[in-house]
Amino acid sequence: MALAIGVDIGGTKIAAGLVDEDGAVRGWHRRATPGSDVQLVEDRIVGAVAALRAAATGRRQAVVAVGVGAAGFVSAGGTRVLFAPHLAWRDEPLQQALQERIDLPVHVDNDANGAAWAEARFGAGRGESRLVCVTLGTGIGGGIVIDGRLERGRYGLAGEFGHMVVVPGGHRCECGNRGCWEQYASGRALGREARALLASGSPSAQPLLARAGGDPAQLTGEVVTQAATDGDPAAGELVTEVGEWLGAGLANLAAALDPGTFVVGGGVAAAGDLLLDPARAAFARTLTGRGHRPPAQIVAAERGPLAGVVGMADLARRAVLDGR
């Protein structure tokens, strides 16, 4: 069985895994992302790959390729990261830099494309001919799978849904614009709103502050999501608000792309129906032509936090086996 290594580089972490042809993760590695240090990010990718290759060698299994998913705008040929809102990459020749240090074929793509591919091949999108995957992490990523192929767009930049402007003049985004969707429906937005609730003096935020160890700076989207799933009322309200923004954005995507299924993944999606029920309700209220068209279904991703790892490994392996 041909193994491949998938690497998912997000705004806060680097996750890597040894993945088989059925999409099963046979070993994994995780480190924090040093977002402001381009060389250190590269070093950690190379280190993760080396550790996983050693594990495969110990099992007498061969690794055929490495797939790297980058949280940023990746060029059409997969050679360069043109821009990464949450990382320091600016026109970075990542594929070449890694290829020079890793003696295996290296495939680079957008991280959300990797997650979308994993869900289409091995997860909640199996059997769907028109799939849109939206990942809610530090920001919002997206991927489009049509008839068994990734739609990357003319310049490789399709799926950057998080930077649709939904509130002109709204919150400033790391991309340079104001009012981007990810400023209202992401883990970063969830943490920001929790801190704003705390700053307002609301007593309902005190249990959230306690979860953050008394430090408002540690009141992140991950903390709020876990609090919501544990039944904290204030956290539940915040997740509902994010869900409503999510549903409104999905309605915009449905008007443009008309998919059969939206798969929602990423860390915030761990809230499950606490997030998806208000998203479905907002989607139904906002959808253009509602009542006169079949609505897309909105489902939770199945592959969890390693979806990007699984998808990137599979894309890299297929590129090698297909001779690309």
Cα–Cα distance measured from residue 324 to residue 313, given in angstroms and rounded to the nearest whole number: 15
pLDDT of residue 148: 94
At the fourth CATH level, which superfamily is domain 127-301?
ATPase, nucleotide binding domain (3.30.420.40)
CA distance 83 to 63: 30
pLDDT of residue 324: 58
Residue 301 has a pLDDT of 96
Domain boundaries, the chain: 3-119+305-321, 127-301
Collapsed DSSP state (helix, strand, coil) of residue 88: coil
Q: What does the CA dihedral 162, 301, 31, 94 come to, rounded to 10 degrees? A: -50
Rounded to an integer, what distance in angstroms lies between the CA atom of residue 159 and that of residue 113?
8
| Through-space distance between the first and last CA atoms of the chain, rounded to whole angstroms | 20
Question: What's the pLDDT score for residue 251?
Answer: 98
Helix crossing, 221-229 with 187-199: angle to 10°? 80
What DSSP element (H or E) covers 29? strand 25-32
The SS3 assignment for 110 reads strand
What CATH class does 3-119+305-321 carry? Answer: alpha beta
Mean pLDDT score of the chain: 93
Backbone phi and psi for residue 292, each to the nearest 5 degrees, phi listed first: -125, 15
Helices (H), the chain: 38-58, 94-99, 111-122, 187-199, 206-211, 221-229, 233-257, 273-286, 307-321
pTM for this model (two decimals)? 0.90
Tokens for 71? 């949280």
- Ranges of residues in the chain whose predicted pLDDT is under 70: 1, 35, 323-324
Distances (CA, A) of 31 to 13, 15, 209: 6, 7, 26
Q: Closest Cα partner for 271 from 230, 234, 303?
A: 230
Angle (deg, nearest 10), helices 273-286 and 233-257: 40
Tell me the three state secondary structure of residue 166.
coil
| pLDDT, position 38 | 86
Nearest to 76 by CA among 98, 45, 109, 51: 109
138: Cβ–Cβ under 8 A, 6 or more apart, which residues?
10, 11, 12, 71, 86, 186, 187, 188, 221
* Beta-ladder partners of 66: 5, 106
| C-alpha of 201 from chain center | 33
3-119+305-321 and 127-301 share one CATH topology?
yes
- AA identity, residue 244: E
pLDDT of residue 218: 94
